[in-house]
Amino acid sequence: MIRRTICTLVTVASFLVAGCSRAEDADFGSKVRAYLLAHPEVIEEAVQKLQENKDAQAALKAKAALKDERQSLERDPRDFVAHPDGKITVTEFYDYRCPHCINAAPAVLKIINENPDVRFVFKEMPIFGEISEHAARCAIAIKAAGGNYLGFYKAVMETRGLDNDAVDKIAKSYGVDPARANSGPFRTAADAQLTDAHKLANALSIEGTPTFIIGDTLVPGEDMEAVKTAIAKARAGEKKS
């Protein structure tokens, strides 16, 4: 994706400059292209700026949509919630095979363990294929059964080379039949929940995992310092009110 963007920037820059010149200045575009290739840091800065602008636009769109989607985001009874009586709500969209979600998982658990005033909403949103979907359904089954959801979450996130057999083994250790979780009426209901999570993500302009939402603040990626800062800001607002 980045490589394609860089090539596009180089090509567009060359054509734009060349397009503004007459035939006698046609080599100017080639000189610009050569300069950009010789100074890739300029291209990297442009790509970074484009991404920053894209993230800012997505954040604005998400903030505008949050008012309408707040109930689905924070109060869907199908989602597992740690500290359901907490005054500050954090929602995470995540996938069990997402490397950034895996990296963020220890910090997520630490936030939960150290902050009883934080309602932490787990929004299952598998984007890495069938294994991720299988794990999500098992997690939903554990939640439905009143089992140890956080234990399952931790175990799966710590498992390297995750496959269906590993998911099955972990699910069984937490009292869930993975075959039942992935078949019949339960699977139909679980798939509806996962579909709704994807629709919600689209409405909020969420493009990947993990994504955290705290109040009106959207934090894409595994920037856990930004998540903690947003929590502190929300807590300060609660104290003022």
Query: Is 89 in contact with 212 (CB distance < 8 Å)?
Result: no
Distance CA 29, CA 12 (A): 10
Residue labelled with tokens 């949103």: 125
pLDDT at 44: 81
Q: Which pLDDT score, from 0 to 100, does residue 8 have?
A: 52
pTM: 0.77
pLDDT of the residue at 25:
59
Q: What's the number of CA atoms in the CB half-sphere (13 Å) around residue 113?
A: 9
What is the per-residue pLDDT for 200?
97
Report whether 97 contacts 132 (CB < 8 A): yes
Q: Where are the domains of the chain?
A: 2-62, 64-240
Write down the pLDDT at residue 171.
Answer: 98
Q: What pLDDT, on the 0 to 100 scale, is given for residue 19?
A: 47
| Structure confidence at residue 34 (pLDDT) | 82
Full pLDDT tens readout for the chain, 241 residues:
445 555 555 555 544 444 454 455 557 777 777 887 888 887 888 888 887 777 677 666 667 789 899 999 999 999 999 999 999 999 999 999 999 999 999 999 999 999 999 999 999 999 999 999 999 999 999 999 999 999 999 999 999 999 999 999 999 999 999 999 999 999 999 999 999 999 999 999 998 999 999 999 999 999 999 999 999 999 998 777 6
Rounded Cα–Cα distance for residues 189 and 136 (Å): 12
In words, the CATH class of domain 64-240 is alpha beta
